[in-house]
Chains A and B, each alone.
Chain A
């Protein structure tokens, strides 16, 4: 940026919009740029359809026949809580219970004799038939384990001990992949790759080619360097926003809390766009083609270190990167709960990275022009 550009501070929205529109249209005609955008999109769509275990909460269906009124299924359901996604069906007779278990239509069957609840309450030890399939389904096994506690509760027997569970050792002891589910996790991974590829490969390539082919010189005959950079940044951000939005919709990756998700993705994109423009001003198009893919690895990797049982030093280092900061915010939004604490630190960190990226870019341009 030359001295006059810096002092005059005259920014023309018309010129920014004109450059932005040209870049936007030109990228559609550039097969290389299109591939950089479409590959991660394709991967995300593939993950979305390849994995359907959107959640790790096991499911189970209970079918029961009771000769009289019983609260057993309801008690079991209460004890299971949110740990099992439970469906309870009452049928007309015991044979139907057996048939549905045999057909695999239900995971657990209960045949409850008449007067069962009263017999349990009087500690008469009534008979109870529990039918299960021979599969090792997690939900069915967990549900079977709730039968005895339910019966103790119905018998009015106190619990042997009051057990309280507490999570210690900080945040995200549960693996993020377990919390989000494989499908969400990998689609989210594809989104991060998509952001990184647009910000750190596609956009720098466009800028580097303009620099090398000297079309940039033609632009700055009327536009300022500042206007060119703003237009390129807008191009990158709009492409990121558009492609992420499409992938989110196609993959049905709707965040429970949109605000932290959008903040994480948006601030991460802004920070990476700054560094992408710096790459575009610094490296040649050939260097970007050769080394761009390698550069992506250390940028993307930290997002997949956090929320895993990695060594503390590695997690601490990863947490300093913009990708991890953006991922922490976005994952919180996806999960709808605070899996990663201190969101404000992530926001602050991302803002610092953004200022650093654009600051280095300005310094580089000043140094080059002067």
Chain B
């Protein structure tokens, strides 16, 4: 009967209310159908099953029935307290009803002859009627099989119950366990008879870190997002899905310029950073990344923009002392409410948790600028994949909020090269600023260049800069040196330079004008062409 209804109208979805899950499910779970949720031990099946009901009660006032085959009802009541779900209270209010079908070790059961699970079905129907339930969770199907020796009977009976749930007009979630994170959908071939909708939870050990993901395998007759999506389980909130593709490239683009906190750097960037852009500052240790961050924050506070600093490398005291060394008083800024500094070891949480807690802080503090020092420190916490997802999630989030973001990344070699971080995120950032050491006649000098500035012209030169008590001071371009970015600077004598330029100019005489002012003609023209193509 259900099939007849749905063949005429599209499958409707029931918003679950589970943090961002409805985004990947494109609306929620299919209404009036059963969905199989499969996962290995510890993958979060029970949490999802309970949260599905809890969110229904809390957010939509939809009553619920929880059928447990595994943990006893009292265990579940206790365990779910930590998520802030008072199941016992809801039971008293008539919003929730348990069907406790967990095995009782004190009762010995002997099988003799044919039986069915009619009593269980009657109990479920009774509970649904009693609280007028709209949602039913069954946790977990595999445990039923262990209670009876005749598996074919259990299979038949579960099918009957799943079918009956449909006719009761409830949206049901059935959990089932699987032995491998990448293997058959569920044990006992459960997916063969409850196959309308299948979702899989995973808890994969990768590089010594656990990564939780949820995948919607199929929703019969309706749309959903494909592939694994990371999620995390938080004490106060339960399960929170972190959809990446949900945040589409829809964010507004701002033409408003905002100062980098350094007038000379602003000039190099063609007038400053764009308001909702993400800037990556890359350089070896000691090249001035934290200084760039400090100036960026100070510049923001100076024009009345609230700033957030996420520091994963240095302690609060170090940061504040360094800032004073460059003439910036972080302490005063913080007192004035213009700055908030979050200092912590990246290892204290997973990347998924970091993303969520940072989002929470941003929502609450509402900064106009966010600086993260450094991405490289976060990189070591998770897998490459998790890191990528973190960066995508974070950049799209702050863009959505029209926040200017400045990230730093540490290159592994002193003289040049790129960091792994850059390889992963360079395409996600709008601007890239490189800070490099340049060795010249026994001196270590620092160079700065704007490699990329999306949507704007910028200075393509590599400029020398000095750091003193007032901060960063940009100087002249390195005219007589090539190969700075590759990490092998070669000094070129003025005579050679002259010869190269004159040959070059002869070939492209029509472009002669202005080339003399460029630092290294060929590179400049090359990068200009690239620049114009990308912008």
A-B complex is real: no
